């Protein structure tokens, strides 16, 4: 990969999104939340009326979807957005609805869906330096990255954070599904820097990551 890629993986509501955005801002890199890819696909599949448990139908329906990613400047930083069938799904009402929260880990467990989405993720690294966030960034999508981080926090704290965001989301169940799937399960890569964010502020986590990056040069 021609450009530097900083990978941030971790459990649900461990602080990945906010931290990844701050790192992207600080370095002038493009922020890419790969969860949005899985969420956008799940949202579309649900709105087309498919049962997400029907793997064959889901895979077939996905082969007809027109998907692309575009880099946009939002406020003071660059962000990769997902465009599906020429529509940009709304972050709050479409991508983070209770229905999508409940179904996304099922769709994300299908190996053929993950394979299909792989090139969309890698392709962006040919366009711009990236801060990527997800579950398998360091392990599968960008294993060659020398800048890997893994965030986690105690379950109770993560549930509290999600609740504060006003979202209906079964954090524990989603983690369980993400960790137990056979294709690209959620795990901390052996060469990643692991951070427990239970008692850390966003600023502290960002400082720690920038410090590690600084020392790596
Ligand atoms: O990060 P976010 O919570 O938005 O991700 C939603 C879901 O998408 C995750 O729970 C997981 O099932 C899936 N996902 C994934 N691999 C990624 C990013 C997200 O399987 N790289």
Is there an atom of ligand 1 within 6 Å of 139 CB? Answer: no
The rounded mean pLDDT for the chain is: 97
- Best residue among 8, 81, 108, 158 to mutate for probing ligand 1's pocket (most ligand atoms within 8 Å of CB) is 108
Q: How far is the CA of 102 from the centre of ligand 1 (A)?
A: 12
Q: Which two tokens stand for residue 39?
A: 């969420």
Q: What per-residue confidence (pLDDT) applies to 15?
A: 96
Q: How far is the CA of 104 from the centre of ligand 1 (A)?
A: 7
Q: What per-residue confidence (pLDDT) applies to 75?
A: 85
**CATH architecture entry for 5-206:** 3-Layer(aba) Sandwich (3.40)
- Beta-carbon-side half-sphere exposure of residue 170 (alpha carbons within 13 Å): 11
- Greater confidence (16 vs 217) lies with 16
Could you state, in order of their start, the residue ranges of all structural domains in the chain? 5-206
Q: What per-residue confidence (pLDDT) applies to 1?
A: 85
| Euclidean distance between the first and the last CA atom of the chain, given in angstroms as a whole number | 18
Per-residue DSSP letters for 133-179?
EESSIIIIISTT-SEEEEEE--HHHHHHHHHHTT----HHHHHHHHH
Q: What per-residue confidence (pLDDT) applies to 137?
A: 98
Distance CA 16, CA 135 (A): 10
- Best residue among 38, 95, 161, 183 to mutate for probing ligand 1's pocket (most ligand atoms within 8 Å of CB) is 38
- Helix, strand, coil percent content, the chain, rounded in steps of 5: 45, 20, 35
Q: What is the ipTM of this complex?
A: 0.99
Q: What per-residue confidence (pLDDT) applies to 105?
A: 98
Q: What is the pLDDT of residues 64-117, one digit of tens each?
A: 999 999 999 988 899 999 999 999 999 999 999 999 999 999 999 999 999 999
pTM for this predicted structure: 0.97
Q: What per-residue confidence (pLDDT) applies to 76?
A: 85
Q: Which two tokens stand for residue 44?
A: 């579309």
Q: How far is the CA of 191 from the centre of ligand 1 (A)?
A: 21
Is there an atom of ligand 1 within 6 Å of 11 CB? Answer: no
pLDDT reading at 217 higher than 90 = no
- Greater confidence (109 vs 216) lies with 109
Distance CA 163, CA 170 (A): 10
What average pLDDT does range 139-156 have in this prediction? 98
């Amino acid at each position: 990969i021609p450009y530097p890629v900083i990978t941030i993986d971790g459990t649900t509501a461990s602080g990945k999104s906010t931290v990844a955005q701050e790192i992207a801002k600080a370095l002038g890199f493009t922020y890419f939340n790969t969860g949005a890819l899985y969420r956008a696909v799940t949202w579309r599949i649900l709105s087309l009326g498919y049962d997400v448990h029907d793997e064959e139908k889901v895979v077939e329906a996905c082969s007809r979807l027109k998907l692309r990613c575009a880099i946009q400047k939002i406020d003071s930083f660059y962000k990769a957005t997902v465009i599906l069938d020429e529509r940009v799904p709304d972050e709050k009402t479409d991508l983070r609805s209770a229905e999508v929260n409940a179904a996304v880990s099922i769709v994300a467990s299908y190996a053929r869906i993950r394979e299909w989405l792989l090139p969309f993720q890698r392709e962006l690294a040919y366009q711009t330096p990236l801060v990527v966030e997800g579950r398998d960034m360091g392990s599968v999508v960008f294993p060659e990255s020398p800048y890997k981080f893994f965030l986690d926090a105690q379950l109770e704290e993560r549930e509290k954070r999600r609740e504060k965001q006003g979202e209906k989301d079964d954090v524990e169940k989603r983690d369980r599904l993400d960790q137990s799937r056979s294709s690209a399960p959620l795990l901390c890569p052996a060469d990643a820097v692991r951070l427990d964010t239970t008692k850390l502020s966003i600023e502290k986590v960002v400082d720690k990551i920038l410090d590690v990056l600084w020392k790596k040069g």
